[in-house]
Amino acid sequence: MHPPADPFLTLEEQVASYKKQAEELYKAANPDANIDDPNEDDWEGRPTSESPFVPAPPPLTEPAEADLDPGPVLEGEEGDIERSRTSNERNTNIRTFLQQCSVQTLMFLCDKCRDPHTTVWLEDFGGHKNLLKYHGTSAMSVSWDGYFRQLLERGKEVVVVSVKKRGGGVGGWSKNNPFFEHEYADFDVEIDPVSLASRLLSIRDQLSAEWEHDLEIISTQKKEIFESYRENVRETGGERGQAGWLYKRTTSKLLENDDIYNQGQSSLRFGNFDLLVLLSTQEAIHRVLRVNMEGGEKARGGYEFLRQFYTDRLHYFDGDQPYQRADVFLEELLLTMPSVSKTSGGKVSMNDPMRIAEVIVEMRGEVCKEWAEIMGQISTVEHACIRGEILDKRFGTPDS
């Protein structure tokens, strides 16, 4: 695997300056410390983050199933369907998800530049504990532009950081003296929300350009997925292959694409790609359910089968997740035996899981094409207003 390149050419000077400032502050307080030693990781209060390319740690949050409606419903009050649709659209909003990943990428860069203080401040600002290590969707409830405007309303803040002095003995005393009291040095770290907003906007520009490309990859996967699945069926009789897969996973398509290494890429690109597959799959399921619900008695059997199958696996889409969760969902659907069921209206229905999986993947392709068009408009159209507000805050009158 190629090492992650410096992803944001427009942010290169900002990152270098930020890292230099943090190191100078620490050197001034701890002249004897060796910050180049990889084992010296407690000067910043905690070790650096784990690689974003390994499976996520155990869940940090419980799945918020109350916030995720399992698709449109047939029974209940008249407003239930509309409330369900609104909830689904909120959970799979691509612009809000782009904002979540932008904040996570900024946190990752700050953490790697030995600035955990800004990371903690961003977590407190958004109310997202452990967001840096969260691998999942629907972490933000506020709209993307609302997040920026709340950030721009905040003034500069100073965080006081207390760091234990280090070195072999202080003032001539033995470093192993049990009666020696550790000394601490305090230094101030300034948090400038306007500067953070500018950096976030640059990251959103970068991610939107990447996602426009990545969504196109996902949208073309139907043929390859089912060709791979049928080949596996011929070779193994429908059992999982040597890698434990029924078909070639979608994420491997990006890993095989050497074109992405010829350009700067964001630090969390592969993790974001995995979550894009998950989010687009969930949105496709919602749309398939909606189409079948509105298809009358003829489509009711397929609707009820898929809704129950999806409801039983809501935890695959909500909360902190391992990698390739969308592929696990599709594989379990493909492994489900065809069945005959009676709908709530009394009609006998034949349920073909493989056909349903094909419809979901086909719908996912349409979703990704729509989202790719949105990503193409992010930098040139949707960010124009926020850029103006950032400039007003930076160069406007003192009262602005």
* 41 has pLDDT over 70: no
Between these two residues, 383 and 259, which has the higher pLDDT value?
383
pLDDT 10s digits, 324-369: 899 889 889 988 888 777 666 667 777 888 889 889 999 999 999 9
Residue 130: inside a domain, yes or no?
A: yes
On whether the pTM is more than 0.85, the answer is: no
What are the Cα distances from residue 220, in Å, to 1, 226, 291, 315? 24, 12, 22, 26
* 173 has pLDDT over 80: no
Letter for the amino acid at 23? Answer: E
**Could you list the residue range(s) of the whole structural domain that residue 225 is in?**
9-395
pLDDT 10s digits, 149-164: 888 888 888 877 777 7
Domain count along the chain? 1
The first and second tokens of residue 170, run together, are 């202080």
Residue 233: inside a domain, yes or no?
A: yes
pLDDT 10s digits, 381-391: 888 888 888 88
* Alpha-carbon dihedral 128, 131, 135, 139, rounded to 10 degrees: 20
Residue 2: inside a domain, yes or no?
A: no
How confident is the model at residue 82, as a pLDDT? 59
The segment with the largest mean pLDDT, out of 3-12, 81-90, 134-143, is 134-143
Residue 310 near residue 282, CB atoms below 8 Å: no
* 71 has pLDDT over 90: no
Residue 238: inside a domain, yes or no?
A: yes
Residue 329: inside a domain, yes or no?
A: yes
Residue 4: inside a domain, yes or no?
A: no
* 321 has pLDDT over 80: yes
User: φ and ψ at 160, to 5 degrees?
Assistant: -90, 120
How confident is the model at residue 366, as a pLDDT? 92
pLDDT band at residue 15, thresholds of 50, 70 and 90?
A: very low
In the numeric block, the tokens 């407690």 are attached to 42
pLDDT 10s digits, 91-116: 889 999 999 999 999 999 988 888 88
Residue 264: inside a domain, yes or no?
A: yes
The Cα–Cα gap between 281 and 218 comes to 10
How confident is the model at residue 94, as a pLDDT? 92
pLDDT band at residue 166, thresholds of 50, 70 and 90?
A: low
How large a percentage of the chain has pLDDT more than 70?
63
Between these two residues, 65 and 274, which has the higher pLDDT value?
274
269-291: b or e for each residue (b if 16 or more CB lie within 10 Å)? bbbbbbbbbbbbbbbbbbbbbbe
Per residue, the 3-state secondary structure of the chain, as one string, reads CCCCCCCCHHHHHHHHHHHHHHHHHHHHHCCCCCCCCCCCCCCCCCCCCCCCCCCCCCCCCCCCHHHCCCCCCCCCCCCHHHHHHHHHHHHCCHHHHHHHHHHHHHHHHHHHCCCHHHHHHHHHHHCCCCHHHCCCCCCCCCCHHHHHHHHHCCCCEEEEEEEECCCCCCCCCCCCCCCCCCCEEEEEEEECHHHHHHHHHHHHHHHHHHHHHHHHHHHCCHHHHHHHHHHHHHHHCCCCCCCCCCCCCCHHHHHCCHHHHHCCCCCCHHHHHHHHHHHHHHHHHHHHHHHHHCCCHHHHHHHHHHHHHHHCCHHHCCCCCCCCHHHHHHHHHHHCCCEEEECCCCCEEEECHHHHHHHHHHHHHHHHHHHHHHHHHHHHHHCHHHHHHHHHHHHCCCCC
Residue 1: inside a domain, yes or no?
A: no
Lowest mean pLDDT among 70-74, 295-299, 312-316, 393-397: 70-74
Mean pLDDT computed over every residue of the chain: 73
Q: 246: which residues sit within 8 A by CB, 6+ positions away? A: 229, 232, 238, 240, 331, 334, 335
Report the chain's terminal Cα–Cα distance, integer Å.
Answer: 48
